[in-house]
Amino acid sequence: MTIKLVEEKALMGQDRRRAERRLDFGHAWDYAPAPEGTDHVRLASRYDLFIDGRFEPPGAGRYFETINPATEARLAEVADADERDVDRAVAAARRAYDQVWARMAPLERGKYIYRIARVIQERARELAVVESLDGGKPIKESRDFDVPTAAAHFFYYAGWADKLRYAFPGHAVRPLGVAGQVIPWNFPLLMAAWKIAPALACGNTVVLKPAETTPLTALLLAEIIQEADLPPGVVNIITGAGKTGAALVGHPGVDKVAFTGSTAVGKHIQRALAGTGKRMTMELGGKAANIVFADAPIDQAVEGVISGIFFNQGHVCCAGSRLLLEEGVHDTFVRKLRDRMATLRVGDPLDKNTDVGAINSKMQLEKIRELVASGEEEGAERFSAPCELPERGYFFAPTIFTGVAQSHRIAREEIFGPVLSVLTFRTDAEAVEKANNTFYGLSAGVWSNKGARLFKMASQLEAGVVWGNTYNKFDPSSPFGGYKESGFGREGGRQGLAAYLVVE
Ligand code: NAI
Ligand code: MG
């Protein structure tokens, strides 16, 4: 990577002002821009629905645009599936289930899933660029996290396909049938992998609907599925907004619903499906606490807290959006946090140096702004990183609030943006009490030098995942899921198989 002394560099506009600000904060050098190439990416101007192994136009002929949130430029238009299209997709999945996939030898199913994983690896660069273009996340995250982790999920579950009876010793297992899967916009390709890989490994067929702001990598995945030669109808990918999602989860031909998204929509689906006998898994919102004790390795904890909330612009259901600091370490920690925030690079998602990219949509940006305004009105103290935001596109400067009370909205509601609320505690018991004082329960982090304390806290925190002296670490072999209003069911690992099987 090129590092140039500021004095040597002829800086213009934003770069120059950014560099001057860095000097104010005591940093003598800056990175030169390093944009990722896009020449290898060929987006079609229009994408149809992937049904029964083919791309087909929507019955009603309606399409909608997906844009690049960093520039507001139109990327492509995608089909808006209506109820009849959903019906066709579910029928294709049913045929493929009855006639091919559920009957196929599990070892053979595994080979197809391995093939998907391999083609994802082959097309990794293209997938990473499209993920960053369509959703606004920094290329270093889509390249180093989203795409490799998506491939890893297919590899992992491919391995389970012919070993299912060892996953639940003493039990007979069989697939559920057709899975209707609805995913959000924060990790578009990775969420598709989390949903599709275990479903296929267990012998189910799938209709998947990506989010309306980020449909493109799911459509590339449809091409990959064609390339991997999967039998037609085993995976169907249909695009559309909430109405399409509702038609899919409500379709009588769907045996299992897997949903990741907002708690409000998750509750709505649960109400709509009550009494239908459909199996469900729900992965909903979060308001995770990152708990830092005074004996923690402080600089390491600062890095962990920073990545825990600013990773993917805070568009992470398990983001460490509440920071609980032991009182004695509060002032030092906040000072170090602010210093580190001043060095975060906010801007072009395709620049390899960018730490914080674009907010996914105008709607999400407005939601973040509204909650941040409520924090100021309710009396918390705001600090936003002193960075210049690009003129076009949806951006929000990394922000922390100190002096936050548990009753403040910014301490209770999911902001889903780069905004951290800082609270304090004096004892272990108070930390547990405050961390658990939420309707959510997806994840938490504990930072301490004492191993015994990490384990004790982990057993008392009502959260599906608890990280110790680290944050946001994922592995396909590790189950993920929530307590309370964060949802139910587990994805990942052996536990993730149970969501797609009848275990007798
Ligand atoms: P959302 O829950 O509306 O969207 C998620 C997915 O559900 C999308 O594919 C959408 O088309 C679909 N959907 C919407 N209404 C549906 C319905 N009635 N039936 C079936 N599917 C439906 O999330 P939205 O509005 O994009 O974001 C709002 C808030 O939700 C965010 O600010 C954030 O707080 C939270 N959120 C949480 C996520 C998580 O991973 N836990 C992911 C996305 C959003
Ligand atoms: Mg988009």
Task: State in Å: Cα 257 to ligand 2 middle.
Answer: 25
- What's the pTM value of the predicted model, to 2 decimals? 0.95
Query: From residue 499, how far is each of 116, 177, 196, 264, 370 by CA, in Å?
Result: 21, 12, 12, 22, 37
pLDDT score recorded for residue 9: 45
Are 156 and 181 a contacting pair, CB within 8 Å? no
From the CA of 364, the nearest ligand is 1
Cβ atoms < 10 Å from Cβ of 203:
22
| Residue minimizing CA distance to atom 38 of ligand 1 | 261
Are 358 and 395 a contacting pair, CB within 8 Å? yes
With a 6 Å cutoff on the Cβ, whether 234 touches ligand 1 is: no
Which atom of ligand 1 is found nearest the CA of 286?
A: 41
- Residue 360 corresponds to which amino acid? N
With a 6 Å cutoff on the Cβ, whether 364 touches ligand 1 is: yes
Residue 377 is among the residues annotated as catalytic for this protein: no
User: In 251-342, which ranges are continuous DSSP H helix?
Assistant: 263-273, 298-310, 330-342
Helices 147-160 and 188-201: crossing angle in degrees, nearest 10, is 10
Q: Helix, strand, coil % (nearest 5) of the chain?
A: 40, 20, 40
**Pairing state of beta strands 73-79 and 63-68?**
antiparallel
From the CA of 215, the nearest ligand is 2
What are 486's two structure tokens?
A: 């964060």
Q: Cα–Cα distance between 224 and 230 in angstroms, integer?
A: 9
With a 6 Å cutoff on the Cβ, whether 368 touches ligand 1 is: no
With a 6 Å cutoff on the Cβ, whether 212 touches ligand 1 is: yes
With a 6 Å cutoff on the Cβ, whether 184 touches ligand 1 is: yes
* DSSP designation for 311: G
Residue showing tokens 């975060």? 344
User: How many helices and strands in the chain, by DSSP H and E?
Assistant: 18, 22
Which atom of ligand 1 is found nearest the CA of 213?
A: 26
Q: Cα–Cα distance between 155 and 152 in angstroms, integer?
A: 5
- What is the distance, to the nearest Å, from the Cα of residue 170 to the centroid of all Cα atoms in its chain? 35
From the CA of 133, the nearest ligand is 2
With a 6 Å cutoff on the Cβ, whether 419 touches ligand 1 is: no
From the CA of 487, the nearest ligand is 1
The SS3 call for residue 393 is: coil
With a 6 Å cutoff on the Cβ, whether 284 touches ligand 1 is: yes
Are 139 and 350 a contacting pair, CB within 8 Å? yes
Task: State in Å: Cα 363 to ligand 1 middle.
Answer: 12
Are 193 and 150 a contacting pair, CB within 8 Å? yes
Sign of the Cα torsion 423, 136, 187, 181 reads positive
| Residue minimizing CA distance to atom 14 of ligand 1 | 242
- Residue 323 corresponds to which amino acid? L
- Length of the chain (residues): 504
pLDDT score recorded for residue 50: 99
| Residue minimizing CA distance to atom 30 of ligand 1 | 262
Residue 317 is among the residues annotated as catalytic for this protein: yes
Task: State in Å: Cα 134 to ligand 2 middle.
Answer: 4
Task: State in Å: Cα 215 to ligand 2 middle.
Answer: 7
What are 37's two structure tokens?
A: 């190439």
Task: State in Å: Cα 317 to ligand 2 middle.
Answer: 19
> What are phi and psi for residue 206, nearest 5 degrees?
-135, 140
Which of 141, 212, 283, 462 is the catalytic position?
A: 283
With a 6 Å cutoff on the Cβ, whether 464 touches ligand 1 is: no
Query: From first to last of its 504 residues, what are the pLDDT tens digits of the chain?
Result: 344 444 444 444 556 666 566 555 555 567 889 999 999 999 999 999 999 999 999 999 999 999 999 999 999 999 999 999 999 999 999 999 999 999 999 999 999 999 999 999 999 999 999 999 999 999 999 999 999 999 999 999 999 999 999 999 999 999 999 999 999 999 999 999 999 999 999 999 999 999 999 999 999 999 999 999 999 999 999 999 999 999 999 999 999 999 999 999 999 999 999 999 999 999 999 999 999 999 999 999 999 999 999 999 999 999 999 999 999 999 999 999 999 999 999 999 999 999 999 999 999 999 999 999 999 999 999 999 999 999 999 999 999 999 999 999 999 999 999 999 999 999 999 999 999 999 999 999 999 999 999 999 999 999 999 999 999 999 999 999 999 999 999 999 999 999 999 999
Residue showing tokens 């197809």? 112
* DSSP designation for 485: G
Among 257, 265, 483, which residue has the most ligand 1 atoms within 8 Å of its CB, making it the best to mutate? 265
- What is the distance, to the nearest Å, from the Cα of residue 363 to the centroid of all Cα atoms in its chain? 17
With a 6 Å cutoff on the Cβ, whether 182 touches ligand 1 is: yes
Q: Cα–Cα distance between 420 and 487 in angstroms, integer?
A: 23
Task: State in Å: Cα 269 to ligand 1 middle.
Answer: 11
From the CA of 132, the nearest ligand is 2
pLDDT score recorded for residue 31: 80
**Pairing state of beta strands 465-468 and 399-402?**
unpaired
- Residue 26 corresponds to which amino acid? G
With a 6 Å cutoff on the Cβ, whether 191 touches ligand 1 is: no
Q: Which residues fall within 8 angstroms of residue 382, CB to CB, at 6 or more apart? A: 372, 375, 376, 399, 400, 401
Are 445 and 289 a contacting pair, CB within 8 Å? yes
With a 6 Å cutoff on the Cβ, whether 188 touches ligand 1 is: no
Among 64, 86, 262, which residue has the most ligand 1 atoms within 8 Å of its CB, making it the best to mutate? 262
Cβ atoms < 10 Å from Cβ of 288:
32
**C-beta pairs of 102-109 under 8 Å, 24+ apart in sequence:** 102/175, 102/203, 102/204, 104/203, 105/162, 106/161, 106/162, 106/164, 106/203, 107/161, 107/162, 109/161, 109/162, 109/200, 109/201, 109/203
Helices 188-201 and 106-122: crossing angle in degrees, nearest 10, is 160
Structural domains of the chain, with CATH: 46-284+484-503 (3.40.605.10), 289-468 (3.40.309.10)
What are 327's two structure tokens?
A: 């009182």
**Pairing state of beta strands 487-488 and 465-468?**
unpaired
> What are phi and psi for residue 404, nearest 5 degrees?
-90, 135
Q: Which residues fall within 8 angstroms of residue 26, CB to CB, at 6 or more apart? A: none
